[in-house]
Amino acid sequence: MSARLTPGDEAPAFTLPDADGNEVSLADHKGRKVIVYFYPAALTPGCTKQACDFTDNLDLLAGAGYDVIGISPDKPEKLAKFREKENLKVTLLADPDKKVLDAYGAYGEKKNYGRTYMGVIRSTIVVDEQGRVEHALYNVRATGHVAKIIKDLGI
Report the pLDDT averaged over residues 32-50: 94
* 154, part of any domain: no
**Is the CB of residue 18 less than 8 Å from the CB of residue 94?**
yes
* 43, part of any domain: yes
* 134, part of any domain: yes
* 117, part of any domain: yes
Catalytic residues, which ones?
47
- The CATH number that applies at residue 15 is 3.40.30.10
* 155, part of any domain: no
Domain that holds residue 67: 9-149
* 1, part of any domain: no
Query: How far is 108 from 61, CA to CA, in rounded Å?
Result: 29
* 23, part of any domain: yes
Q: Give the number of domains in the chain.
A: 1
72-105: pLDDT as tens digits: 999 999 999 999 999 999 999 999 999 999 999 9
* 36, part of any domain: yes
Looking at this protein, which amino acid is placed at residue 23?
Answer: E
